[in-house]
Structure 1
């Protein structure tokens, strides 16, 4: 059986639906189908942002927005000038979904439910008569003279144009490699660090604004650091994992993490503060209360790690103990042995080589009428709504290119 369409979109996720809806709105005459290999569509949308769907980020300047993308910074500058986060807000509001900004800049539906986004997309595909076909795992792609043939386990589809929005699907990457596209091997991005260390053993849930660095490299980041039962997480760690995705994979996730619990305070400045505290609180126990902006439990742990007992008074601190404490505060070294996936929001660094894509149209430079959007290309971002913004922007540009041609 050979089903004929104008456009076949492979991948029923955020980028696939956004592309299909935008094409159909701009040209309702086109016959469009979305092919999804799984039983359900929009699964990543469902679980993202803890089930609330972090739609985008309140960064509205393209040249600023690109800085959140470890891979794709240069290439996304042009696309973001065509469709940026402000356009995303406008698009969703026009389609009945109001968004709100949280303190950290992340944007969610006012309903606080990803189901709102899913219902919006499913409603629009029904209204626009876009066919959504599940259980369709693509097995081959064939480019004829002026048509494409897409074969799944169940049937064969022919169409004028193909849009690949299949995320980090190894099978699709393999097919593309067979069509001479270069695939940058995928490695995990956005992961947390596994650390077994007495200093953080019983501090699960403790958070501090810290500066983190991978020892012996230029890799560093700042942000809230969260201590978990398996090690360290939080925005600061996730940022480091995204920017260091390739390097940390090469190290097999075995490295030394240097933590400055005081964020931007140097060891010399910390030493000065500790000397002042020694004068001011001479008769008080050192471990009693944290003099810095992080929890007492963390302070107690760092005091003990500096060889200072719970009973020791400030006045009794030796020069060595002061030096050790200043170092624990600003240069604490932790051995990292492995990683854990960050929630279910698994993001990979890797995909189609960016040099093989025309970013004005999102069309393949090697094959006419073949387009890409979303995570299938070698673009990924730190956490905070940026990966979805890449999907919306890519989908919009593909739709514009297809309907304008």
Structure 2
């Protein structure tokens, strides 16, 4: 049997590896000259392989699109299986405090090497710079047409990743699968008109960020950048709000609580009590609520508090205004920026047309899908890679079952 895999990324390699055996000839077709390029740059070059193992019911909550579908997929291959697979191939992994899992080497090349060594050992052929321009149905087989010739395969897994525009899926037109129009997911918020940009580099460990006029909100670290705000809270919020923000053309208002441990009432009570306990302290010299000095000064200025004032001189109006800026600081969003080199899309092949127990097309036998080409995506933290490993594994294993 000839098995073809379109895409030389994480999902493609995993599908090819798990489709090998039983005398099958497996070939990966990659359109670019580079292989596993997203693995290379992920996590600042460290590769966030997966996330700390958790119950599947909790794991799927980290996927804005594909939750119910992935619940079935993860029963076949979950976070624990990913960790075991790499560690059994001499890639020790470590779990950081926030649950993210990285190779102990802190080098994504460790992951790349493990995948490529396994592929070589299994005799998988890899054809780079071989973009598939069209897929033709030939009975139950598939003819792949490229600039480098035509290839007939008995079984095909499409794991080519996400595309920024629907045109990217044109090579699949003859398969008649519904394509959900792709939109960006995981991006930072641009705030070009906001003076807060001058505080670039300041981070807060536990904020809550909301999108005004919606129920969308997320809690976590936030980073102020020279173009706006970033960090896990913003990135995760962008993923869950991807469609709404797209529809609004990325024009919205973010509401920030700078310390999510404090409610509006708690801020007010703490400020009032502090003013009584330390009446003669200068406001500028004693930032409260674990706020960095520069951000504290900025928020005081926004609240019309003179930094030379003492706490006991604050009027009720000034305290109320300061509480407002601490609890619901409003930033005008005007645009987005892709997070580093990590490109994630929402959209792709409709999962309603794919069997979640095998990842086989409901329309065509021996046709499988894996990775971001499906309309599934996760938040930051190793969740997108886990979806890649799990769908790649299941697609590969399923294609082998059908060749026995």
In the other structure, the counterpart of 2:371 is: 374
Structure 2 residue aligned with 1:284: 281
The offset of 1:81, in angstroms, is 1.4
- Structure 1 unaligned residues grouped into runs of 5+: none
Alpha carbon RMSD of aligned pairs, Å?
A: 1.3
Aligned equivalent of 2:190: 194
SS at match of 1:363: coil
Q: 1:306 maps to which residue? A: 303
Structure 1 residue aligned with 2:314: 317
Conserved? CA contact 1:213–1:259, under 8 Å: yes
Aligned to 1:88: 82
Residue 102 of structure 2, aligned match among 108, 113, 116: 108
The correspondence for 2:326, drawn from 317, 329, 352, is 329
Q: Which residue of 2 aligns with 1:59?
A: 53
| CA–CA separation in structure 1 for the residues paired with 2:315 and 2:38 | 55
Cross-structure match for 1:152? 146
State the distance in 1 between where 2:268 and 2:285 align.
Answer: 19
Tell me how far 1:59 sits from its aligned partner.
2.8
Deviation sequence 1:332-378 (CA, Å, 0-9, x none): 11101111110000101110111011000001111111100000000
Figure out how many residues of one structure are paired with residues of the other and give that number.
Answer: 399
SS at 2:376's partner residue?
A: coil
How far is 1:126 from its partner?
1.5
Q: Which runs of 5+ in 2 are unaligned?
A: none
Q: 1:178 to 1:147 in 2, by over 3 A?
A: closer
Q: 1:231 aligns with which of 223, 228, 232?
A: 228
Give yes or no for the alignment of 1:20 onto 2:16. yes
SS of corresponding position for 1:76: helix
In structure 1, C-alpha distance between the alignment counterparts of 2:183 and 2:8, rounded to whole Å: 22
Q: How far apart, CA to CA, are the structure 1 residues paired with 2:265 and 2:168? A: 54
TM-score, normalised to structure 1, is: 0.96
Q: Of residues 347, 359, 362 in structure 1, which corresponds to 2:359?
A: 362
Distance in 2, matches of 1:107 and 1:252, equals 34
State the partner residue of 2:392: 395
Q: 2:381 aligns with which of 384, 393, 396?
A: 384
Of 171, 175, 191, which residue of structure 2 is paired with 1:175? 171
> Where do 4+ consecutive residues of structure 1 move more than 6 Å?
none
Query: Does 190-199 or 326-335 show the bigger shift?
Result: 190-199
* Paired residue secondary structure (1:311): coil
Contact residue 194 and residue 332 of structure 2 kept, 8 A: no
Alpha-carbon separation, structure 2, partners of 1:176 and 1:264: 49
Return 83-92 or 290-299, whichever deviates more.
290-299
Is this contact kept in 2: 1:9–1:165, CA < 8 A?
yes
Q: 1:139 aligns with which of 116, 119, 133?
A: 133
Which of 117, 125, 136 pairs up with 1:123? 117
